[in-house]
């Protein structure tokens, strides 16, 4: 229901994008979380957010299983994967849903979604993002990257991360570009994907470029159509070497 929170512990699939944007359009507040935390962290975030629903990828469900009945605000569990594990299956819910939907009317300062820190200095902490802030994040890199409908944006970062799941997805969704989504970054497959899929823009963190530089030259690394890349945490010396190579 409107303004309730939905905790999302999901792998990098198209389902993540559908659930995240679907919740927002319905006035529900998605809470995407890092998929590499502990059961204790997830238990804390369920209580802290008072999530009414949990959407979890099948392989990650064991991290919630023992604690699932300990959260009084939690009304339902939805599993994304081949096996719903006794709960509601996301694919079944999508198949049964009506194709007629009227987005709710929202205001700029309404709560849109929550983002939790990774908890490196204690328990994870929530940052609350409004609708107006989301609009800025979605559009941030369109103008500097000149992104348009003919572009293909390659996303290998976790979708629960703001750079990949919001700025990366947003750059495509708000400009008409396509997304090329890999579930997990692979330095060995990077240039094959970029060339074979006609990628024109990449999303990075600084370490991604360093990993590519540390590998032997790839036969396709100068045969691509890449025009732009955006992200954060890239040191100037790494960028210079990356660009020249």
Q: At 4, is the pLDDT very low, low, confident or very high (cuts 50, 70, 90)?
A: very high
Q: What is the mean pLDDT of the chain?
A: 93
Q: Is 166 exposed, middle or buried (0-12, 13-18, 19+ CB in 10 A)?
A: buried
Which run of H or of E encompasses 20?
Answer: helix 14-25
Given this model, what pLDDT does residue 115 score?
A: 92
Task: Summarize pLDDT for 92-109 with one digit per residue, the tens.
Answer: 999 998 888 777 888 888
214 token code pair: 């540390």
Q: Across residues 70-82, what is the average pLDDT?
A: 95
The angle, 0 to 180 degrees and rounded to 10, between the axes of the packed helices 236-244 and 206-213 is 50
Q: How are the residues of the chain apportioned to helix, strand and coil, as percentages rounded to the nearest 5?
A: 35, 20, 45
Is 123 a residue whose pLDDT tops 90? no
- Residue 53 carries which DSSP code? E
Q: At 153, is the pLDDT very low, low, confident or very high (cuts 50, 70, 90)?
A: very high
Q: Across residues 61-68, what is the average pLDDT?
A: 93
The single residue listed with the structure tokens 């009414």 is: 52
User: 209, 231 in Cβ contact below 8 A?
Assistant: no
pTM for the model stands at 0.92
Of 25-29, 122-126, 179-183, the range with the highest mean pLDDT is 179-183
Given this model, what pLDDT does residue 51 score?
A: 97
β partners of residue 63: none
Given this model, what pLDDT does residue 58 score?
A: 96
Q: Across residues 55-62, what is the average pLDDT?
A: 97
């Amino acid at each position: 229901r409107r303004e309730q929170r939905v905790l999302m512990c999901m792998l990098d699939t198209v389902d993540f994008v559908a659930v995240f944007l679907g919740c927002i359009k319905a006035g529900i507040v998605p809470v995407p979380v890092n998929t590499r935390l502990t059961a204790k962290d997830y238990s804390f975030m369920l209580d802290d957010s008072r999530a009414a629903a949990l959407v979890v990828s099948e392989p990650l469900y064991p991290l919630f299983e023992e604690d699932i009945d300990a959260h009084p605000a939690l009304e339902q569990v939805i599993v994304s994967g081949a096996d719903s594990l006794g709960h509601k299956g996301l694919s079944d819910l999508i198949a049964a849903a009506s194709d007629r939907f009227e987005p709710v009317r929202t205001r700029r300062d309404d709560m849109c979604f929550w983002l939790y820190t990774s908890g490196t200095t204690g328990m994870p902490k929530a940052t609350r993002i409004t609708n107006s802030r989301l609009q800025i994040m979605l559009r941030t890199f369109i103008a500097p990257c000149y992104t348009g409908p003919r572009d293909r944006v390659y996303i290998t970062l976790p979708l629960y991360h703001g750079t990949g799941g919001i700025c990366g997805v947003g750059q495509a969704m708000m400009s008409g570009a396509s997304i090329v989504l890999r579930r997990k970054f692979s330095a060995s497959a990077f240039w094959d994907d970029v060339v074979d899929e006609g990628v024109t823009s990449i999303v990075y963190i600084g370490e991604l470029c360093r990993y590519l530089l540390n590998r032997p030259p790839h036969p396709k690394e100068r045969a691509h159509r890449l025009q732009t890349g955006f992200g954060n945490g890239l040191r100037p010396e790494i960028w210079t070497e990356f660009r020249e190579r």
